Structure 1
Amino acid sequence: MTAPRITRLVEALERHQIPLYLLALLIGGLVGILAPDTAPGFEHAINPVLIVLLYATFLAVPFSSIRESLKDGRFLTALLGVNFVLVPIVVFALSRFVADDQAVLLGVLLVLLAPCIDYVIVFSGLAGAASERLLAAAPLLMLLQMALLPVYLWLFVGSELVDVIDVAPFVEAFLLLIVVPLVLAALTQAIARRHVAGRIVMEVMASIMVPVMMATLAVVVASQIESVRTQLSSLVSVIPIFAAFLVIMAFVGQGVGRAARLEPAATRALIFSGATRNSLVVLPLALALPPALSLAAVVVVTQTLVELVGMVIYVRLIPRLVPMPTTELTSDSAAKTGPAT
């Protein structure tokens, strides 16, 4: 295939990425339901596809901008306030609806108290958010949730349940899903400044971003949809909670962004960070729980499915909730070649 054809194909994928992501969700769901025996294989594929996705994502952000982003104290204060002050308040209120079932309650708390540090960067970028600021804050968000999650669980459910949680899978996920692709991306960028091979790798990864995201969505859904389907009756109560969380956090993020006088791109990033949760990273934690609490893992998976659909909707609606200034839209319109926001 010639270079112009490849360019046109990549542009077509970017223009139609939202329906393509919905198609990936549908395909993953059908495969998981029609061939449930394939679920373990797809589950083993989750981390590899996530690593590739995050590697491609990290490549797209110049590391020089990360240092500048970390100097933005106003954005970081708003980000940490949303995720570690306001989110716990919202989560505590919503979790009261399932407080009588320890396994379900623990699953809800595990997933909703942990801010996302991976594909939030991709989805927020699609919505015209300042995704590089979320990338810069990812290590800090991960470290803080590792430190604070046991505290919130102790406050909300008591010490007896906190004692059964093993943090080793949490640390492993951080190293595998964040540190490894981040270091590889930094090395690739350093090589690209001196050698053409590095630049070729960066161009290739940028061109396959949409297919990699589709693969990630399909693999996650295919690996878990059967577990959700077989225990759907036990999960009915959590679906409205997860949907309500997405709605509430859109307006909480908007309000905090306005109060902090953040520009629209930063406010959009704040909304996405407050709404997206670390489901794929806390899933190993839930899977390591005792058999009596095994339903917690399925609750986490259910949140993943609700959130993936919600993110597709967010990409369209958040730019309308937090529009760019008219002058900026006008000046950027002629040069705009990326995804519609």
Structure 2
Amino acid sequence: MRASVEWMERHQVSLYLAGLVLGGVVGLLAPAVAGPAELAIQPVLALLLYATFLGIPFARIGRAFRGWRFLGTILAVNFVAVPPVVWLLTRIVAHDQVLLVGVLFVLLTPCIDYVLVFAGLAGADVHRLLAATPLLMLAQMALLPLYLWLFVGSGFMDTVEFGPFGEAFLVLIALPLAAAALTQFVAGHGESARGESARSARGDRAVRVGRVGRVGRSVAQGATAAMVPLMVATLALVVASQISAVGERLGALVQVVPVYVAFVMVMVPAGIAAGRLAGLDVPGRRAIAFSGATRNSLVVLPLVLALPAAFDLAALVVVTQTLVELVAMVVLVRLVPRLIPEVTPVT
């Protein structure tokens, strides 16, 4: 098992690319899988995030919340720097309100889920990024209506329902986070109980608790070992569920691809510069770069699907961003550590 996990970790980027290709081939050859694949995305993504959260020592989260310099930087990048960049880039599609709405929904909302996975692979500070997740979610829920009102107009706002935002946060963040914390607690409690059993002649209760702890550790180890396969499955499901529909509307959707590519190319250096200006360490600057470039496509998709029928293409605009971003993230896992290298101490 350990050898398999190590092999997958060494070849994870290649495996992610294989997942993208596999999802594309299956989705094109068997369009009927789109519906089941779409239904499977959220459960698989929730499992992926549970495995991701298990790797974060919750005892250190409190310290992460005290990092106000990091939190201020990540909020400034996503809610001060991003909106004017998005406004400028969307002038390319401003002539088509449906395309414009889809692009605005996805680019104005920072990612709160798989950014943790990709940022962690690049050596970013996932602890502080996780601590910022609730703030990012609350801020985008509060500010997205304002940005849409400014960029599209008040008439459009009457068609938007924001309930799916809270549902997505509960399913994709709150529940996996609580489950991971509980697993860590049970595993840690078992370790304490084993020590107590060794010190006490009446260790029956400690032994029972120790068994529960072993179960918790086994679950944690299994979930951690499954991280790479779960990420591959998530990528494959996203592509398989949407690539057929994207292909049918390719003529219109191709217009938004340059916007998404340009967004990543602008926000990665902008995040690096902001992190350096704030005096953050290397892991912190990498986390800011990923947060500025990754968007909340899987969470806002239910929101966009709830729009009136006239905006049906907007959902595919969001999905197109997912496809572009997934490829970009695989590249950034290798690129960002080179752009923000570890500081070698002078001897």
Task: Calculate the TM-score normalised by the size of structure 2.
Answer: 0.92
For the 8 Å contact 1:121–1:132, the answer to whether it is kept is no
1:141 is matched with: 136
Task: Calculate the TM-score normalised by the size of structure 1.
Answer: 0.94
- The correspondence for 1:208, drawn from 202, 226, 248, is 226
Deviation at 1:171, TM superposition (A): 1.1
Distance 1:166 1:32 in 2: 30
Distance 2:150 2:330 in 1: 33
Spell out the pairing of 1:127-276 with structure 2 (5 A cutoff).
127-194=122-189, 195-276=213-294
Spell out the pairing of 1:310-325 with structure 2 (5 A cutoff).
310-325=328-343
Deviation at 1:80, TM superposition (A): 0.3
Amino acid of the structure 2 residue aligned with 1:223: S
Distance 1:9 1:45 in 2: 25
Whose Rg is larger?
2
CA deviation map 1:45-85 (0-9, x unaligned): 01110110011011110112111111001111100000000
Distance 2:298 2:254 in 1: 21
Deviation at 1:188, TM superposition (A): 0.8
Amino acid of the structure 2 residue aligned with 1:32: G
SS in 2 for 1:327: coil
Spell out the pairing of 1:1-341 with structure 2 (5 A cutoff).
6-194=1-189, 195-327=213-345
SS in 1 for 2:71: helix
Deviation at 1:327, TM superposition (A): 3.1
CA deviation map 1:159-183 (0-9, x unaligned): 1111111111111111111111111
CA deviation map 1:81-138 (0-9, x unaligned): 0000001111011011111111100000000000000000000000001111111111
For the 8 Å contact 1:283–1:300, the answer to whether it is kept is yes
For the 8 Å contact 1:42–1:222, the answer to whether it is kept is yes
* RMSD of Structure 2 on Structure 1 (CA): 1.0
SS in 1 for 2:3: helix
Q: Which moved more, 1:241-250 or 1:186-195?
A: 186-195
SS in 1 for 2:345: helix
Deviation at 1:208, TM superposition (A): 1.0
Distance 1:139 1:49 in 2: 21
Distance 1:132 1:229 in 2: 38
Amino acid of the structure 2 residue aligned with 1:98: V
Amino acid of the structure 2 residue aligned with 1:163: D
Distance 1:131 1:96 in 2: 34
For the 8 Å contact 1:27–1:218, the answer to whether it is kept is yes
Amino acid of the structure 1 residue aligned with 2:66: K
CA deviation map 1:221-266 (0-9, x unaligned): 1001111111010011100100010010111001101110111110
1:337 is matched with: none
CA deviation map 1:283-341 (0-9, x unaligned): 0011111111111100000000000000000001111111110239x9xxxxxxxxxxx
In structure 1, stretches of 5+ residues that fail to align are 1-5, 331-341
2:196 is matched with: none
Amino acid of the structure 2 residue aligned with 1:221: V
Distance 1:103 1:29 in 2: 25
4+ residue runs of structure 1 moved beyond 6 angstroms? Answer: none
